[in-house]
């Protein structure tokens, strides 16, 4: 059996590419391997951004491999444990302190949208993308956090429209409603994700991590809690090598070079 995803690191950017073209289904093996490897990646300070993509240019992911659900539940011991593992993995992506970028092209359905929803940046193909949570058409509901994260990304009105009607949207509409950050021709989508990853990786590591802690999940915080988090971030970044480098570079009228220790 081939690896469920292909993994590589280039210029401090780790790439996870679903290795099941053309549909790139999210298999039990994919989630198992991610759960094992993600803690190592997130603990590695030399990795400062992550890209989640799929092999080929047909589809990012048509979602979970539905045929594996009975096997997965049996292996996990219960439906709650099976889906709980998926929640843990996506929570690691969202809350691990490393910027995550997803590429949306072709089918991005069910779990193939729920994984990108856990990422901090989503880039979509300008043509050919089909993005949605179609579980309602199967008599079911999103199970990987889609109904929790989609409203936070696009608001209640659009989330209800997509989920209750099982409606899929293209990249242009996803960009219009704020679901994706950029539209890119599919041929250059992965290269653009790598370039964005490298840009994020060049930013001061501690400051990036601090801002993710402040901003991710802000929807459930009061303003006072968010302000307290910001004050903690200011304290954590005061006097760091990167903050001193940033000030020196400003005074010397040059571009700062951050993360020199890693």
Confidence of residue 185 (pLDDT cuts 50, 70, 90): very high
Structural domain contains residue 256: no
Structural domain contains residue 60: yes
The verdict on 50 and 103 lying in the same domain is: yes
The verdict on 69 and 153 lying in the same domain is: yes
The verdict on 128 and 241 lying in the same domain is: no
The verdict on 188 and 210 lying in the same domain is: no
Number of domains in the chain: 2
Report whether pLDDT(41) > 70: yes
Active centre residues (catalytic):
114, 135
- The mean pLDDT of the chain is 95
CB 196 within 8 A of CB 119: no
Q: Which two tokens stand for residue 139?
A: 């008599």
Q: Which two tokens stand for residue 166?
A: 């099982």
Structural domain contains residue 260: no
Q: 164: domain range?
A: 5-201
pTM: 0.94
The verdict on 223 and 124 lying in the same domain is: no
The verdict on 117 and 79 lying in the same domain is: yes
The verdict on 211 and 169 lying in the same domain is: no
Alpha carbon distance 203, 9 (integer Å) = 17
The verdict on 72 and 157 lying in the same domain is: yes
The verdict on 185 and 219 lying in the same domain is: no
Phi, psi of 7 (to 5 degrees): -125, 135
| Strands of the 182-184 sheet, one edge to the other | 5-10, 13-18, 49-54, 100-104, 121-125, 182-184
Alpha carbon distance 255, 96 (integer Å) = 28
The domain boundary residue, chosen from 183, 201, 219: 201
Report whether pLDDT(1) > 80: no
Structural domain contains residue 51: yes
The verdict on 192 and 221 lying in the same domain is: no
Mapping DSSP to helix (H, G, I), strand (E, B) and coil, where does residue 254 land? coil
Beta bridge partners of 134: none
Report whether pLDDT(28) > 90: yes
Structural domain contains residue 261: no
The verdict on 214 and 179 lying in the same domain is: no
The verdict on 111 and 24 lying in the same domain is: yes
Alpha carbon distance 201, 37 (integer Å) = 20
């Amino acid at each position: 059996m081939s690896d469920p995803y292909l993994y590589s690191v280039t210029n401090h950017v780790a790439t996870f590419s679903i290795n099941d073209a053309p549909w790139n289904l999210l298999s039990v093996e994919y989630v198992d391997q991610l759960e094992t490897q993600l803690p190592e990646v997130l603990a590695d300070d030399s990795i400062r951004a992550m890209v989640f993509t799929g092999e080929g240019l047909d589809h990012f992911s048509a979602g979970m491999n539905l045929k594996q659900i009975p096997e997965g539940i049996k292996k996990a011991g219960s439906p709650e444990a099976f889906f709980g593992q998926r929640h843990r993995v996506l929570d690691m992506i969202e809350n691990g302190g490393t910027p995550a970028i997803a590429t949306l092209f072709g089918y991005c359905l069910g779990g193939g949208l729920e994984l990108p929803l856990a990422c901090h940046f989503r880039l979509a193909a300008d043509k050919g993308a089909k993005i949605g949570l179609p579980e309602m058409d199967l008599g079911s509901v999103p199970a990987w956090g889609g109904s929790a994260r989609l409203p936070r990304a696009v608001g209640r009105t659009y989330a209800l429209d997509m989920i209750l009607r099982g409606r899929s949207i293209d990249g242009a509409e996803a960009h219009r409603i704020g679901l994706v950050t950029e539209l890119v021709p599919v041929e250059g989508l992965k290269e653009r994700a790598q370039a964005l990853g490298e840009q994020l990786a060049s930013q001061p590591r501690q400051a990036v991590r601090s801002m993710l802690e402040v901003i991710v999940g802000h929807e459930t915080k009061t303003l006072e809690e968010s302000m307290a988090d910001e004050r903690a971030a200011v304290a954590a970044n005061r006097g760091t090598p990167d903050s001193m480098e940033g000030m020196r570079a400003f005074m010397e009228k040059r571009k700062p070079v951050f993360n020199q220790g890693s």
